[in-house]
Amino acid sequence: MRTREAVLRAAGEAFAQNGFLGTSMSDILQRAGVTKGALYFHFSSKEELAFAVVAAQKAAVTRLAEEEAAKEVPPLQAVVATTTRWARAVQSDPVVRAGVRLVAEQGAYQRPMSRPYGQWEDVLTQLLQRAQDSGQLGEGANPREAAELIVAALTGATIVAQATHGPCDLPQRVEAMWQLLLTGLLPDGHKVFVLPRTLS
């Protein structure tokens, strides 16, 4: 299992830096410091390895959401905290950062990636449904549609951040995103919402 994790991390570093097409198995081998046989024992192709990196990124999303949902905080705050913690993970974790990039490179793979943003949409829908049930969302807010909008906004913020300054300012972009989105999500008369101190 240590070998698999070493290969996965090395792949994350390479994919995050160079993308799928710009990365070779030789690059990953060199970074991982393992034998060719050890690498191919765990992953039969570069595409399989890329999909494993994406799966690890999705697992990180689920873990963050579950951790925030378990806290004694309002559900909407858990939604915001999940996304801001994820923005920090994109900064610090090459596997998460690579997963984000690889999801955006759909045209590079021989087989389609199943529901590339589905994990995000599902976990946020669950949290937003709880927020609606507790009266934190306005009457016109649809949890699923809101989740899809949030994921689209996060994706756009990530792409712009990567194309300009890299992930260093992604948390600030996510915070700015929430300042706008919360105006439409909160009920009338409840337009004041304190963002979690995840960004400070």
CATH number at residue 130: 1.10.357.10
Give the pLDDT score at 12: 96
Tokens of 155: 């994706």
Q: Is 113 left (phi over 0), alpha (psi -120 to 50) or beta?
A: beta
Is 132 part of a structural domain of the chain? yes
Give the pLDDT score at 43: 94
Give the pLDDT score at 199: 43
Is 12 part of a structural domain of the chain? no
Is 164 part of a structural domain of the chain? yes
Give the pLDDT score at 190: 56
Give the pLDDT score at 133: 93
Is 194 part of a structural domain of the chain? no
Tokens of 160: 């712009």
Is 122 part of a structural domain of the chain? yes
AA letter at 180: L
Are 156 and 174 contacting, i.e. CB atoms less than 8 angstroms apart? no
Is 74 part of a structural domain of the chain? yes
CA distance 169 to 161: 7
Is 46 part of a structural domain of the chain? no
Which pLDDT tens digit goes with each residue over 69-128? Answer: 999 889 999 999 999 999 999 999 999 999 999 998 888 888 888 888 998 999 999 999
93: phi then psi, degrees, rounded to nearest 5: -110, 110
Give the pLDDT score at 1: 64
Give the pLDDT score at 198: 44
AA letter at 102: L
Q: For residue 148, how many other CB atoms are within 10 A of its CB? A: 16
Listed residue (123, 128, 124) closest to 142, CA to CA: 128
CA distance 22 to 75: 40
Q: What is the pLDDT along the chain (200 residues), one digit of tens a residue?
A: 689 999 999 999 999 999 999 999 999 999 999 999 999 999 999 999 999 999 999 999 999 999 999 998 899 999 999 999 999 999 999 999 999 999 988 888 888 888 889 989 999 999 999 999 999 888 888 999 999 999 999 988 888 888 887 778 888 889 889 988 888 787 765 554 545 554 44
Is 9 part of a structural domain of the chain? no
CA distance 100 to 88: 13
Torsion, CA 67, CA 146, CA 96, CA 4, rounded to 10: 70
Instruction: State how many domains the chain has.
Output: 1
106: domain range? Answer: 53-185
